[in-house]
Amino acid sequence: MGVCTITKSYTMQMLSILVIGWSIGFNGVRVGVEAAPYAPAMFVFGDSLADAGNNNFIPGCTVRANFTPYGISFFPRPTGRFTNGRTVFDFVEKGDDEAKNYIAKSLFCISIGGNDIDEFFTNNTLPNTNATQLITLLVNKYDRYLTGLYNVGARKILVADISAVGCTPYARNYGFIGYHGLCVEIVNQLVVEYNSALRQLVDRLNQNLDGISIILLKSYHYIMKMIKHGEVYGFSETKEACCGSGRFHAEVACGKTSPPNQYCKHPDTYLFWDYIHPTQKTCSIFAHEIWIGNSSVMHPFNL
């Protein structure tokens, strides 16, 4: 969830806009006749968790992932994605065979807010704002943002709530003295309260805006399951980053050469790629749940 200097604020501005032509569903597979697309486009609005490399072209942006070893597990070169391969939305755009029969309109995906929580605790950008006021501010911005998308024609929107920011390698290292390497609960508590308010907003808009379907991905709930039961998902490490060095591999950022650091031999066994972003394996699991997940992960239904 890196922050660019031109967007470092609590206005929840999007850090990337990605328009993807779905290689199977959008372009069709010619077998006599062209298969009907299940969505003409997917628009992704988000922070570095969703960035497909647009960050590289934003003037004044100081946080980038356009260097090795980012991208090594798939491309295998750095593309600007803040992980070792593909993001959640790269996997979502590949689609699901059953879903192709039901999706007929463009899908808008939004993943924002984590930077705002991080900034609130680490840089005190809004010194006269308490936690309750911050939640109100962010949710009101989200309300206007979603309503604005609706007014320009969006009808199917996927919204990801904020993940367990207090459990990232960065947070464990930053709060080590007070929390001894455990999750920073004061951060997670604010995330939980914000996510609750966001869910109420989603329910209200689904009820009040005719024809809209806003689907909520419960990122926090699901990532906590992965952290607590990593072995169930194939992870042997859920606290440290694969790439980086120092405590939790979070004291020196991934790819830095002073002091030098390397990435782990088996990224797919790690939940986190760098000090704050998930691995490609984690992203693929989330994408799978977006398509078929039950009510413990998706609200009020999946894609």
The residue that leads in pLDDT, 27 or 289, is 289
- The predicted-structure confidence for 107-160, as pLDDT tens digits, reads as follows 889 999 998 998 898 877 677 889 999 999 999 999 999 999 888 888 999 999
The pTM of this model reads: 0.74
Q: How large is the average pLDDT for residues 267-289?
A: 95
What pLDDT score was predicted for residue 122? Answer: 82
What pLDDT score was predicted for residue 206? Answer: 98
The DSSP string of the chain is ----GGG-SSS---SEEEEE--TTTTT--EESEEPPPS-S-EEEEESTTT-SSGGGGSTT------STTTTTTTSSS--S-SSSS--HHHHHTT--TTGGGT--S-EEEEE--HHHHHHHHHT-SSTT--HHHHHHHHHHHHHHHHHHHHHTT--EEEEE----GGGSHHHHHHTHHHHTTS--HHHHHHHHHHHHHHHHHHHHHHHHSTT-EEEEE-HHHHHHHHHHTGGGGT-SEEEEESB-BSGGG-SB-TT-BTTB--B-S-GGGEEESSSSSB-HHHHHHHHHHHHH--TTTEES---
